[in-house]
Structure 1
C-alpha cells in the first residue's frame, strides 16, 4: 500500500477530490483511538488516519460496510499524483497530467533540455 508521509500532498489530494481539509490529532475509530492526519472520505463512517512518521494508514470501514474501499483507492491515487507533481516541481521540472480511461492518470515529467 502507498505510504503517506507528506502533509502538503495529502492536502492537495483532498482539494483534488473535493474533501474537507485533513485534521491533525487524535481520532476515535470504532474500536481504537489513533493519532495522525485524519481525512474524512465521502460516505465513510470514520476517517482514514495517516501517521506521517511511519507512512501507515489506520481506518475501520468494517469490510466495506462503513466505507467503500474504492474511495480510499481514489484518495491514494490522488495522493500519489500530487506527491509526484510536488517533487518534480521542487526539482524544477514541469509536469503535465492526462486522464485516461478507467480512471487512470498519466503524468509526464519534463526534465528540460
Structure 2
C-alpha cells in the first residue's frame, strides 16, 4: 500500500545534517558559535553554496537561523535544497534503523520519492 507524506522539516539530527552536506557536496558542518550579520548564534553551522553567511541549526529546538538579506546574500532555493537533502537522509537513517529497505528516485519536478519496504535494509 502506498502513502504520500509531506514533512515540515525540523533539523535535529547531526548525522543527517552531515549526510545532507555530503550529498550536496558541501563542507562538513561545524558546531559552535557563529557570527551572522547582526547577531551571534550557537549551533551546527552549514555553509550553503553562494551564501554569505551559514545557516545555523539548533538541534535541540529544530530551528534554523540565517541571514540571507531577503535573497541578496543567498538564494532561498539553496536552503530548500539542503532541507530536502536533510529530510531524505533522515528518513533513510530512521528507516534502516527499523530494518526497512530504502529506494529513492528523483522526479522530473526536482522532488525526491523515497520508498520504504518492510524487511531487508539497503
TM-score in terms of structure 2 length:
0.90
* Structure (1 or 2) with the greater helix fraction: 1
Where do residues 23-62 of structure 1 align in structure 2 (5 Å cutoff)? 23-62=30-69
Q: Does residue 18 of structure 1 match 2:25? A: yes
* TM superposition outliers: structure 1 runs of 4+ over 3 Å: none
- 5+ residue gaps, structure 2, are 1-7
- SS at the partner of 2:43? strand
How far did 1:102 drift? 1.5
- 5+ residue gaps, structure 1, are none
- Which residue of structure 2 lines up, in the alignment, with residue 98 of structure 1? 105
- Which residue of structure 2 lines up, in the alignment, with residue 112 of structure 1? 119
- SS at the partner of 1:102? coil
- Which residue of structure 1 lines up, in the alignment, with residue 72 of structure 2? 65
How far did 1:112 drift? 2.9
d(CA) in 2 for partners of 1:108 and 1:21? 27
Q: Does residue 75 of structure 1 match 2:88? A: no
| Count of aligned pairs between the two proteins | 113
d(CA) in 2 for partners of 1:12 and 1:54? 20
Higher mean C-alpha displacement, 102-111 vs 39-48: 102-111
